[in-house]
Structure 1
Amino acid sequence: MAREDTRPTRRELLGAGAAVGTGLLAGCSGATGSETPTDGDAATATEGETGTATDGPRYRAELSPVGEVTLEEPPTNVFAHFPWFADMATALGQGESINSVWWDGTATAMEYFTADLDGVEIPWRDRTTAYGFSKEQLYELDSDLHLVDPAWATTQENWDRGDVEDIGDAVGPWFGNYYSNFHAEPPAAWADGYEYHSLWELFEGVAALYGERARYEALAALRADLLSTIEAGLPPESERPTAAYLSISTDLSAIYVLRLNAPGYFNAHTRPLGATDAFGDDGWDGAFQQVDMEALLEADPDVLLTLWGVTGAVDYDAMRRNLAEDDLGSELSAVRNDRVYTQGTRWQGPLMNLFQLEMTAKQLYPERFGEWPVYEEGDSYPSFDASERLFDRERLSAAVRGDV
C-alpha cells in the first residue's frame, strides 16, 4: 500500500482517526476488538457494496496505551519488530503481511514447533533485522500498522513522543502493549492509565484489526480446552516439583533465573502449570536475576527449564554436557535425575504458546501428561500419538488455514 504525496495520510483515512491521537495520551478501559465500527461484540465484517471508506467495513481494536485504532481495510504491510506479533499474524493466516521482525531465532523456533502443521507457513523467515529501528526505516517501510507499543518506542535511542506521533500521523498507527510482558513499570510519562493485558487479549485486538475474528475464536477455544485438560491433570500442589526457569549460556558462564509463575505474557506457558518456583517470588527487581552455580545448587530444583535451545541461540546438547561435567552442576538433582529440559522462547505468540504449554506440562509432570523426549539439535517438535497429545493438531491447522 504505497502512499503517494497527494494521497491523504493514514490518520486522515482512519474512521476514528482522532481516537488514535488521543489514545496516545491516555490509557483505555480494556483490550477489545471489533471488525465493525458499531458492533462492540466484534461481529464479522462484510464488504460494503462499493468498498469505499464510507460504506465498507472497518476494523477496530482498543488497547492500552494506544486507545482505539480503526482501519478501513485489513493491513497488508505490517511492522512487527517483536516476535510475538509475527507469531500472531502467522496464526491468523496473515504471515505474508509482516515486513520486519527482530531476531531470526523467532523463525527458527516457529519452524520447530509448526513443522508438522498442514498449511502453516512462515513467509517472514528472511525478513529479520537487528534490534531497534529508526524513523527513516519506518518511513521507508511505509507500513499500514506498527505492532509496537508507542510507550516503549519512546525509550529507544533517538525516539521521543513527538517522533511516535509523527509516524502515527504520516505512516500508520501503533498497536502494542510491551510492559504487560512481566508487568513492568512503563515510562513515567505513560504510567497514568497504563493497563496490563494478557497475551490472548493482545492477540484478540490484532485479530480484530486483521478482520480475522473467526480464526481468533477457533484458536482461543482450542487454548481454553488445552488449559482445561492441563488443569484436570495437575497433581495436588504438595506433589508438584520445584523448578527453575533459566536462561543459561552454553558454557555456563551466564545463568539468569526468571520468575516461573509471574504475571505477564512471558510466563503464559509456565504460570498455568503451577509448579513450585525453586527461587521463590521475593526480592526480584525485574524479569530475571543473575545467579551463580552455587546459588543454583543451593536452590537445587527438581527440574531445570532452560530457554533458547530450539531457537539455535544455545547449544542444548553442549550445555547439558557442561552441567554434567561441572563440579557443582553435576550435584544438581535435575542433572542427576536427567530432568534438564530445553524450552523455546518467552517471546511467544499464540502458536508457540499452545505448543509450549504442552511441552512444559510434559516436562514438569511426565507421570500425568506423558514423557518429554530428549531434544537433539535439528529435531522438530515431537510427533506424539494422538493419545499423547494435549490438543488436536488438525484442529489447530484448520484454524490457521481459516477452515472454521
Structure 2
Amino acid sequence: MVRDGGSHEMPTRRDYVKYGGVVIGGGLLAGCANKTETSSTARTTTTSKSSDGSTETEDGSYSVSMAPTGKVTFESVPGRWVAYDGGYADMGVALGKADGMTGIGSPDRYYTGVYDELPGVSVDRKTLEKNDFGKAGMSKELFYELDNDVHVMDPEMLVNWFDWSEKDVEEITTKVGPFVGNVIFRREDEWHDYRYYALYEAFEKIAELFQERERYEAFEKLHDEFIADIQAKLPSADERPNVLLVYEGSNEPVKFSPYRLNDKGTSKKQWHDLGVSDALASSGIDGISTTERGRIDYETMLEIDPDVILLRAHERQSATEFRNTVLEFMRNHPVASKLTAVKNGRVYRGGYLFQGPIQNLFLTERAAKQLYPDTFGEITNDEQLFDRQRVADIVNGAF
C-alpha cells in the first residue's frame, strides 16, 4: 500500500462559497477547521466530539456524529459523494442519492445486480469503475480530482490499510471534504479500537448525513417486518445447521480463509438473523483480519465437518453455475467428497463482504433458502420472500 505524499496548495471550491464550513472535533482530526465565506462575512462553525446523534443549529446547518471522526457539521446536504465499499454505497442508493455518487473504493465488490429487480433503481457503473479509488491506491490525487462534498469512509482505514498519515486525512478533510464512516463489515481488526455499528445503526448515520430520515424509517419498518416474518418460521435451535463460512475465489478451491460467525460484523448479518451456529466455535481457529491471514484445507474442514459450507468470492456466478463448478469439483476431490456438506450438496455462495440495506434483503432471502429449503424453498427457485416494488418505492420516494 502506497501513500501519495504530494502537497496541494491550490484553493478548492470549499475555500470559497459553494460549500459550507466543516470543523471536526475529536478522533484523528481534532482542532482542524475549514473557513468558508457563507455570506459577506466569514463564519466558522465549531463542534466537538460528543455522543452520536444529528444536531441542527440555529443557522440551518446540521451535524452528524459517528466514530471515529466525531461530530461533523454541514452547511448543506452533500451532493457529490464517494463510498469506500459497497455497503455504504448501497446505503446511499437506498436513500435516493445514487446520482451523486462519483466513485467507489472497490467496484468489483459492489454487487449492483440486485437493483435490476427494483423498478427505477440503478447506478452508473461506468462512472464508478472509472473512478476506482482502490485501483488508484486511494491516491490523494483522485480525492482532489473528484472534489466530493463528503467521503463516506473510515479515515482510520486509510491510515491502517493504505499507509496514509493523520496529516493526509487532515489535508483532504480541510481542502476537499470531510469523512463520515466506520469499518463495520468485520470486527476482528486490532486497530479498530473505537465503537462499531450494526448495519441499521450505520445506515441511520448515513440517513442523517443526507437528511433522509423518512426514507430510513421506511426501510427500517420494511426490514423489521421481513426479519420478524422469517424468524417466526425458523425451526427450533437444535434443528438449525452449523455453518462454516470461508473465502476462496477459485472454482477448484483447495485452501480457504476462514471467517468467524461470532464476529458481529455486518457481512454476517443474515447468518445471525437466521440463527445458525459457527462451526469453528470450539476450533481455536481465528477469522481473517488485517493481521490474521491463516488458511485451512479440506483435512481441517473434515475435522470440523460442518452441516453447511458457505464460500465467498463467487458472487458473479448464479446458484446453478456455482453448483456446476465449485460443488462439482468438491464432489470429485478425494478429501472434500467426504465432507457431510458436500455429500448432501449443502455448499453455497457465502454472500457479499460488504452489504447495505437493499443488498441485505436479497442476501437474507437467499440465505433463508440455502439454510432452510424445506421452509423457504430451494435456492434455485424464483420464489420471493419480500416485496421488490415496496423497496423500489422507498428508494424512489413513493412512500
TM-score interval (norm. to shorter): 0.7 to 0.9
Q: What letter matches 1:306 in structure 2? A: L
Q: Which residue of 1 aligns with 2:327?
A: 320
Post-superposition offset of 1:217: 0.8
Match of 1:7? 16
Q: Indicate whether 1:165 and 2:170 are aligned.
A: yes
Deviation at 1:328, TM superposition (A): 1.0
Opposite residue 369 of structure 2, the aligned amino acid is: K
Which of 79, 89, 94 is the equivalent residue of 1:91? 94
Q: CA deviation at 1:3?
A: 4.0
Change in 2 beyond 3 A, CA 1:31/1:322: farther
Go from structure 1 to structure 2 and tell me whether the alpha carbon gap of 1:349 and 1:5 turns closer, same or farther (over 3 Å shift): closer
CA contact (8 A) 1:76 1:144 kept: yes
Answer yes or no: is the 8 Å Cα contact 2:138–2:162 preserved in 1. no
Letter paired with 1:339: R
Matched residues in 2 for 1:241 and 1:305: separation? Answer: 12
Give the drift of 1:364: 0.7
Alignment match, 1:204:
204
Deviation at 1:352, TM superposition (A): 1.0
User: Is it true that 1:24 corresponds to 2:28 in the alignment?
Assistant: yes
Local SS of the residue matching 2:218:
helix
Contact 1:29 1:64 in 2 (8 A): no
Residues 279, 74 of structure 1: alpha-carbon distance in 2 compared, 3 angstrom cutoff: same
Contact 1:28 1:63 in 2 (8 A): no
Partner in structure 2 of residue 181 of structure 1: 185
Distance 2:225 2:318 in 1: 32
Distance 1:223 1:208 in 2: 18
CA contact (8 A) 2:243 2:308 kept: yes
Give 1:398 deviation, angstroms: 0.8
CA–CA distance in structure 2, aligned partners of residues 30 and 230 of structure 1: 34
Residue in structure 2 matched with residue 42 of structure 1 by the alignment:
none
Residue type of the alignment partner of 1:32 = G
Answering whether residue 153 of structure 2 is matched by residue 141 of structure 1, we say: no
Aligned residues of 1:95 and 1:124 also touching (Cα < 8 A)? no
* CA–CA separation in structure 2 for the residues paired with 1:83 and 1:281: 32
CA displacement, residues 85-115 of structure 1 (integer Å, 9 cap, x when unaligned): 11111111211211111333334x221x232
Instruction: Tell me the residue number matched to 2:245.
Output: 245
Identify which of 355, 360, 365 aligns with 1:358.
365
Q: Which moved more, 1:389-398 or 1:314-323?
A: 314-323
Structure 2 vs 1, CA of residues 359 and 184 (structure 1 numbering), >3 Å: closer, same or farther? same
Q: In the TM superposition, what is the alpha-carbon distance from 1:24 to its structure 2 partner? A: 3.4
Given that 2:243 and 2:310 are in contact with CA atoms closer than 8 Å, whether structure 1 keeps it comes out as yes
Measured against aligned partners, the alpha-carbon deviations of 1:236-264 in whole angstroms (never above 9, x if no partner) come to 11111122112133221331221124212
| Counterpart amino acid of residue 330 in structure 1 | S
Quote the residue 2:112 is aligned against.
110
SS of the residue aligned with 2:92? helix
The code of the aligned residue for 2:92 comes to A
- Contact 1:33 1:204 (8 Å CA) reproduced: no
Corresponding position of 2:336: 329
Please report the TM-score for the alignment, with normalisation by the length of structure 1.
0.81
Q: Which residue of 2 aligns with 1:45?
A: none
Could you list the per-position Cα deviations for residues 34-59 of structure 1 after superposition, in whole angstroms to 9, with x for gaps in the alignment? Answer: 6x437xxxxxxxxxxxxxxx4xx434
Q: CA deviation at 1:170?
A: 1.1
User: Contact (CA 8 Å) 1:9, 1:171: kept in 2 or not?
Assistant: no
Ranges in structure 2 where 5+ consecutive residues have no aligned partner: 1-10, 31-47
Return the alpha-carbon distance in structure 1 between the equivalents of residues 341 and 367 of structure 2. Answer: 15
Kindly tell me: are residues 269 and 340 of structure 1, through their superposed partners in 2, closer, same or farther at Cα, counting changes over 3 Å? same
Contact 1:223 1:354 in 2 (8 A): yes
Tell me the distance in 2 between the aligned counterparts of 1:313 and 1:253. Answer: 21
1:213-362 alignment to 2 at 5 Å? 213-248=213-248, 249-280=250-281, 283-287=284-288, 289-311=294-316, 316=322, 317-362=324-369
Q: CA deviation at 1:166?
A: 1.1
AA at the equivalent of 1:231:
Q
Q: CA deviation at 1:195?
A: 1.0
The answer on whether the counterparts of 1:152 and 1:186 sit within 8 Å (CA) in structure 2 is: no
Could you tell me how far 1:383 is from its partner in structure 2? 3.7
Tell me by how many angstroms 1:369 deviates: 2.2
Equivalent residue letter for 1:245: L
Higher relative contact order (CA 8 A, sep 6+): 1
SS at match of 1:115: helix
% identity of equivalent residues: 33
Task: Answer yes or no: is the 8 Å Cα contact 1:31–1:201 preserved in 2.
Answer: no
Kept in 2: contact 1:98–1:124 (CA 8 A): no
The structural deviation recorded for 1:140 is 1.4
Aligned-residue Cα RMSD (Å) equals 2.6
Cα deviations by residue, 1:250-282 (Å, 9 ceiling, x for unpaired): 221331221124212121121111212222166
Displacement, 1:168?
A: 0.8
Give, as a single letter, the amino acid of the residue that structure 2 aligns with 1:291. I
Post-superposition Cα deviations, 1:218-248, rounded to whole Å, max 9, x if no partner, equal 1111111122112211211111112211213
1:394 aligns with 2:389: yes
| SS of residue matched to 1:305 | strand
Cα deviation for residue 308 of structure 1 reads 2.6
The reply on whether 1:79 has 2:99 as its aligned counterpart is no
What is the alpha-carbon distance in structure 2 between the residues aligned to residue 80 and residue 287 of structure 1?
23
Does structure 2 conserve the Cα–Cα contact (< 8 Å) formed by 1:307 and 1:343?
Answer: yes
> What CA distance in whole angstroms lies between the structure 2 residues aligned with 1:282 and 1:326?
23
Secondary structure of 2:295's match? strand
- Compared CA separation, residues 232 and 33, structure 1 to 2 (3 A): farther
